[in-house]
Amino acid sequence: MTTDRVPFGLRLQVAMAEHGPLCAGIDPHRGLLESWGLSYDLAGLERFTMTCVEAFGGSVAAVKPQSAFFEVFGAKGVAVLERALAELRAAGTLTVLDVKRGDIGTTVDAYGEAFLGQDAPTAADAITLSPYLGYGSLRPAIDLAHATGRGVFVLALTSNPEGAQVQHARLADGRSVAGAVADGAAQDNADERANGRLGSVGLVVGATVGSAVSDLGVDLPAMAGPILAPGLGAQGATAQDVRAVFAGALPQVLASSSRDVLRAGPDVTTLRERARAVAGEVADITGV
């Protein structure tokens, strides 16, 4: 399967330069819907989601819907998600679908086709993947993303404290699990790195992980792909934290912000202005 689409990494690089390095989240969980004065039902889900689409479309580098909050409403909730992805695509805004899929063989192949295939029913520009059945188990999805001009973000150092049990563990060769994941991404981005471009295989690294990147020897600049970085705003990461965690990889950072931006709703204009303000703040930190 081939495509004439520009690779995801390059499209993201252009979008970050134009709009700032922010990925605005769409997280329609009960608390946020109710804080907007919406009912926690399908009608509230749709109103919340389409307000976000109107506010963010054409205004930010990327938008990240959290699939679980749509799936909880069943097929009709997924239909709202698919509509949001389509409308953001029409607005020229990149989408990162947060699904955290990970499996083996034909199953991960099917997950790839569902979100990354040429005619994917729930098509996104990129998805999140979980590597904890081994980075190599993700090969069908990664290869499909490359073939269709899409991208992936692989979990590496997440902000939840439980993640360290797996991510900080050492392999027989002395590398950490997180380091091995970064090495896999670096290999997949080798061609783009050689040409000075941002690769299409990124990592998820929390802005609140402290010294873990350096302590574990995770070489983020060599990975050469984008870094989806949750933790700014509501989760407490400061500008100093971001600079310390990502150091030489700051130009690769795509900050993910959900609650900090979404609390500005439900007014579309206020929501858009908050997203642009956060994007500007992150740009000042990363120099993008």
For residues 189 and 23, give the distance between their C-alpha atoms in angstroms, rounded to a whole number: 21
Q: Which residues contact 110 (CB under 8 A, 6 or more apart)?
A: none
Residue 76 among the catalytic residues: no
Query: DSSP class of residue 170?
Result: B
Residue 9, CA distances (Å) to 16, 27, 225 in order: 10, 24, 7
Find tokens 């997280």 and name the residue: 27
Tokens of 83: 């509509």
Which long-range contacts link 259-263 to residues 24+ away (Cβ below 8 Å)?
Answer: 259/25, 259/27, 259/32, 259/233, 259/234, 260/232, 260/233, 260/234, 261/24, 261/25, 261/233, 262/25, 262/26, 262/27, 262/32, 262/52, 263/32, 263/35, 263/234
Catalytic residue among 29, 83, 100, 175: 100
Find tokens 């992936």 and name the residue: 152
For residues 29 and 168, give the distance between their C-alpha atoms in angstroms, rounded to a whole number: 30
Q: Looking at the chain, which runs of residues are DSSP E strands?
A: 22-26, 62-65, 94-101, 126-129, 151-157, 201-205, 227-230, 253-257
SS3 206: coil
Tokens of 29: 């969980």
- Catalytically annotated residues: 100
